[in-house]
């Protein structure tokens, strides 16, 4: 899936682990990812968490998409830091799922907590 994800590729995301119900994705913060306060733009942190979430919930031939997501920002980061998002499935029932994603910095400090709700469609993944 990430091979076709142009947005995540443009942000320089790297897949560290991709298993059913779990994924780890990292990203180094660049200057163009910071806001007017010289800290990492919240949208970039959300994008990283969302990518790990998407990878964790797309484990078969059917497309799974986000039905909703929330994020809590806990620590500011800056250019040059490496962020890592670890997504884990918490529950699944029918075509719905619940996933938690913890985003940490290179020291292991928690930067953000993300909760995603997934919906599995009846569509198959597009071909390569």
CA distance 7 to 99: 21
Task: List, for residues 80-89, the tens digit of each pLDDT value.
Answer: 999 999 999 9
Report pLDDT for 18.
Answer: 94
Say whether pLDDT at 2 is over 70. Answer: no
Report pLDDT for 60.
Answer: 81
| Better-predicted residue by pLDDT, 122 or 48 | 48
- Statement: the pTM of the whole predicted model exceeds 0.75: yes
Give 49: exposed, middle or buried? Use CB within 10 Å, 0-12, 13-18, 19+. buried
Say whether pLDDT at 1 is over 70. Answer: no
| Better-predicted residue by pLDDT, 95 or 1 | 95
For the chain, the domains span 2-123
Strand partners, 84: 26, 104
Query: What kind of architecture, by CATH, is found in domain 2-123?
Result: Roll (3.10)
Q: Alpha helix (H) ranges present in 37-114?
A: 42-57
Task: List, for residues 50-79, the tens digit of each pLDDT value.
Answer: 999 999 999 888 899 999 999 999 999 999
Strand partners, 27: 83
Task: List, for residues 11-60, the tens digit of each pLDDT value.
Answer: 999 999 999 999 999 999 999 999 999 999 999 999 999 999 999 999 88
């Amino acid at each position: 899936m990430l091979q076709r994800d142009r947005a995540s590729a443009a942000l320089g995301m790297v897949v560290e682990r991709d298993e059913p119900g779990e994924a780890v994705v990292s990203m180094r913060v660049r200057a163009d990812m910071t806001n007017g306060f010289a800290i990492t733009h919240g949208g970039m942190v959300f994008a990283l968490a969302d990518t790990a979430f998407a990878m964790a919930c797309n484990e078969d031939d059917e497309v799974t998409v986000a039905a909703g997501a929330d994020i809590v920002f806990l620590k500011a980061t800056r250019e040059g830091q490496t962020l890592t998002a670890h997504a884990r499935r918490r529950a699944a029932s029918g075509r719905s799922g619940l996933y938690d994603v913890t985003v940490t910095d290179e020291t292991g400090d928690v930067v953000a907590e993300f909760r995603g709700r997934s919906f599995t469609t009846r569509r198959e993944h597009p071909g390569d």
